Amino acid sequence: MQQDPSQTPASIPGGGSNAAALSQMGFDHLIHNFDAMGWIVFITLCAMSVSSIYFIVANFLRNSMIRSRMERVINTFWDTPSAQDAVRFLEEQPKGEPFSKIALDAAQAAAHHQRNEGSRLVEALNRSEFIDRSLRQAVARESLRLEGGMTVLATVGSSAPFVGLLGTVWGIYNALIKIAASGNASMEAVAGPVGEALIMTAFGLFVAIPAVLAYNFFVRSNRIIYARFDEFAHDLHDFFATGSRVESSASPVAARK
């Protein structure tokens, strides 16, 4: 059946109102109709998004730098025949390079213990215990630095969908109140406010999904670095406590890969 050309959408019963309702279901229209609660939810999600993006980029750059340098730092330390040259090489590394800082703490602990031969320090802790204590503190410190931003990513990933859902519930609640007050239950009155309210849930998911994926990625990346911390710290302890490195038959990290 061919439609009469004279029947435009505006002349079709309900056609003009439906088109008007659909034209108002947009993010721009939503922002211009925010109330106080809507602005609170929107600003909260924006802050969550900015903070998660910042820590995603910062952690990615930091972990990439650490993993690109760690083998060179470790191998250069063991391959340098002179202890002074090895320490000088470690001191030249960037501040954010953790393996050099762990090795420097062990070297400083061994030198400090040696300088205090015959003192109460030596009587209270032998060389092995003193170096082990220093290494534990260094590994804990550098591991804590790797955790920077992880709490934010976990919080954003777990709470952003619920914050967006709060905006949706509040928007639908206000829409129903307006519909009841006007007595108009047409598509124009219902679809616009309800559709706009659902955008907040989508926004919450848009903020949460990258944070969750990044959190899982960094947990895996950090776990590999932690294993290298422990392996390097054990080798350093043997070297500074006994004067020689105890070679392991297989690296736990290499086996894991």
- Element of type H or E holding 165: helix 150-182
- The predicted structure's pLDDT at residue 26: 56
- The predicted structure's pLDDT at residue 184: 66
Q: What is the rounded CA–CA span in Å between residue 4 and residue 25? A: 29
Q: What is the rounded CA–CA span in Å between residue 69 and residue 94? A: 10
- Per-residue pLDDT band for 255 (boundaries 50, 70, 90) equals very low
Q: What is the rounded CA–CA span in Å between residue 154 and residue 135? A: 29
3-state helix, strand, coil in the chain (%, to 5): 80, 0, 20
Q: Where are the alpha helices (DSSP H) in 24-35?
A: 27-32
- The predicted structure's pLDDT at residue 126: 79
- Whether residue 155 is predicted with pLDDT greater than 70 in this model: the reply is yes
Mean pLDDT of 5-21: 48
Specify whether the CB–CB gap between 22 and 176 falls below 8 A: no
Mean pLDDT of 136-145: 93
Query: 122 versus 203: which is more confidently predicted?
Result: 203
Give the SS3 label for residue 81: coil
Read out DSSP for 82-135?
-HHHHHHHHHTS-TT-HHHHHHHHHHHHHHHHHHTTTSHHHHHS-HHHHHHHHH
Specify whether the CB–CB gap between 73 and 102 falls below 8 A: no
Name the burial class of residue 144, with classes exposed (0-12), middle (13-18) and buried (19+) by CB atoms within 10 angstroms of its CB.
exposed
Specify whether the CB–CB gap between 208 and 52 falls below 8 A: no
- Element of type H or E holding 177: helix 150-182
- The predicted structure's pLDDT at residue 33: 65
Specify whether the CB–CB gap between 252 and 231 falls below 8 A: yes
Name the burial class of residue 172, with classes exposed (0-12), middle (13-18) and buried (19+) by CB atoms within 10 angstroms of its CB.
middle
Average model confidence (pLDDT) for the chain?
A: 80
- Whether residue 153 is predicted with pLDDT greater than 60 in this model: the reply is yes
- The predicted structure's pLDDT at residue 157: 95
- What is the pTM (predicted TM-score) of this model? 0.75
Tens digit of pLDDT for each residue in 23-76? Answer: 555 556 566 666 788 788 889 999 999 999 999 999 999 999 999 888 999 998
Mean pLDDT of 189-210: 81
- Per-residue pLDDT band for 194 (boundaries 50, 70, 90) equals confident
Tens digit of pLDDT for each residue in 97-126? Answer: 999 999 999 988 888 777 766 566 555 567
- Whether residue 257 is predicted with pLDDT greater than 90 in this model: the reply is no
CA distances from 157 to 41, 55, 147, 205, 214 (A): 16, 13, 16, 9, 9
Kindly report the length of the chain. 257
